[in-house]
Amino acid sequence: MSGTLTLTTMRSFAHSPFNNKEDSFFAPNNVEIAEIRDLLVGPIAESARLDSKIAEMEATLMELKARRDALNAGIATSTHQSLLAPIRRISQHVLEKIFLACLPTAHNAVIAPSEAPLLLGRVCRYWRELAYNTPTLWNRIHISALENSNPTSRRQSSGWGGTWSQGSPNTPPPATASSLYYVDFFGYLERWIARSASAPLDLSYYQSQHYYRDPSSMGLPSSQSAARLIPLVQNVTHRLRSIDIRGDAQDWTPILNMQSSELPSLRGLRLANLGGLNLSSANLRILGHPLLENLDVQGIATPQDLPCNWGNLVELRLHCISDWRDNIFYGGLSVTVAYDLLLQCSRLKTCRMQIITPGGFAGTPSRPLELLHLEELSLALYANSTHERPENWHSHNIPLLIQALRAPALRLLYFGDTYSFDNFPQPELEARISSAPLAVLFMTPVLSADARVDILRATPAATSLVLLDAYSGLQEPTTTPDPNMTCEGLFTRINDEGLCLRLDALHITVMRSILFHTGLIPFLESRRSQGAAMSLRVFVESGAELDVGEALANLGRDGLELALEYRSVELYSPPPTPAPAQWRYSPRDGLSAY
């Protein structure tokens, strides 16, 4: 009906006598005004009817939308829609595999609700039940001591086994965990361990050497965390597959003195003693465990006196330091003792040792080191003083040790210093040398140029060479560098003797923007003329332009794969002393040492 009215109205407009008056100055008289008003009555009434109809339809539409929104909300809040989620069709076995893939691989799982496995239990009841009943989600755990976790507790150290010390009479002691938190935390830790059921257990414990110790607790165990944790560990020693202790070994003697029969599953031990206990004289039975394959000992120790089953070890790290007590100097590792130990380690794949004690070979070692499985040998070399001459015991003895080495599977040969050893390998450097058949790294200024040449002569299969040129590394910038303490003529000698013929990658770090003295440019030109492919990366630890920069650029234009990077050395400024903060647990403390 309304459509007919609209059509009739439009036709009345079509036959209006006033259609041709729109663009004129026509002024209707009274009669014409009445006619025009009569013509508009119908259209205006029709428009009003349409407005009313539209309002009714809009009200109906709003009602329909409200009903739809309510229905969608009901669907969203009901469980039925979630029942169709694809993840519900994943079998329990596959979901367990996914859960396990969420665990960290570089370290044990941490006690943090934002990380797996705890995070998995916060999604839904089914996931929580499945996670809690999957023992292998809970059989690797990293425990940061509760004493670690206040920012001010890391401010100062009083030595190897240091504790927090008050910076000034007005400096309050750091905030500490409450006794109630200790009870809750270790109660929860007990439940965590229980969830691992009968699975082999990997446990790591970290206690900062900068922890705060209340003066009233002197004479008691140095860490309440250790004192509360050890009984839990004693209940599961039959399942311990590996244990990593970085703290005061004295606190852990109940575990470290266990018989091997009480630790039938143990295969790995890391003991970084931050206390004053001499590990060699402590008679720690755990060190003699006949099934240990991975051993890491750090602290005061004389390695040859440790009761270890060296012949069974696959991975070995010795970071033994010396001590001076009662006018007696003991502890540490010499190169000759390292040689004697390696003679016993026929299964080794990875070996890292810190050489800090004088002592050397009287001549060429009598027996070769037959290490057929060895893939990595890393030696940290200690320099007695900043003015130690290059003809030191390292430069004489280390090449003899390498010359005695028979390691066909060797992929990495590293020489560093005792200060940066814990930070090796740096991630960016590790990525570059990971594919090299054999990488040799000289990251210490202690070895003389002659010693480096002797080592390279003993490693003809080297394909990657990483070099720190300490032109000013051990000396003040104003002094004249001792050429033997640098890489003076190193590449000249490599070229003249035809060494490292398989070398295809060079990584050089220089301290003073000086490389001319090494003979690098003639070496590269010679290798290029022989058709050898070569890549070179140079890191300059100063803002000054490299002295051979132009020559390297020319070689780069001729096809040498070249990367040149300058790094400005920033002066260290100690951070401001933080104000005492409210205590909070830091579950990731200690992970940076992995």
pLDDT score, position 5: 58
**Cβ count within 10 A of residue 79:** 6
DSSP string, 179-193: HHHHHHHHHHHHHHH
Amino acid at 351: C
| Cis peptide, bond prior to residue 117, ω within 30 of zero | yes
pLDDT score, position 22: 72
Tokens of 533: 């492919």
pLDDT score, position 38: 83
Contact call for residues 450 and 488 (beta carbons, < 8 A): no
pLDDT score, position 154: 43
3-state SS assignment for residue 3: helix
Q: How many CA atoms lie within 13 A of 435 on its CB side?
A: 4
**Cβ count within 10 A of residue 42:** 15
Question: Would you say the C-alpha torsion 286, 288, 293, 299 has a positive or negative sign?
Answer: positive
Determine phi and psi for 358, rounding to 5 degrees: -60, 160
pLDDT score, position 129: 95
* Residue spans per domain, the chain: 2-77, 85-132
pLDDT score, position 69: 93
pLDDT score, position 7: 64
Tokens of 144: 């940061």
Instruction: List the one residue out of 324, 426, 447 whose CA is nearest residue 381.
Output: 447
User: What is the DSSP code (8-state) at residue 108?
Assistant: P
185-224: b or e for each residue (b if 16 or more CB lie within 10 Å)? bbeebeebbebbeebbbbbbbbbbbbbbbeeeeeeeebbb
DSSP string, 526-580: HHHHTT---EEEEEESSSSPPTTHHHHHHHHHTT-EEEEEE-PPPPP-PPPPPPP
Over residues 218-255, the pLDDT tens digits come to 444 567 899 999 999 999 999 999 999 999 999 999 99
Ordered mean pLDDT values, 10 residues apiece, the chain (594 residues): 60 73 79 84 87 94 94 82 82 94 96 96 92 97 86 39 41 71 94 96 88 47 85 97 95 95 98 89 93 96 94 96 75 93 97 90 90 96 57 83 97 84 60 85 87 95 86 42 64 94 91 85 93 89 83 92 78 59 84 68
Tokens of 40: 């508009």
pLDDT score, position 294: 98
User: CA 509, 397, 367: angle at the middle one, nearest 5?
Assistant: 125
Over residues 430-482, the pLDDT tens digits come to 767 778 899 999 988 888 888 999 999 999 999 999 998 754 333 444 444 45
pLDDT score, position 448: 86
Q: Please, is 522 exposed, middle or buried when counting C-beta atoms within 10 Å of its C-beta (0-12, 13-18, 19+)?
A: middle
444-468: b or e for each residue (b if 16 or more CB lie within 10 Å)? bbbbbbbbbbbbbbbbeebbbbbbb
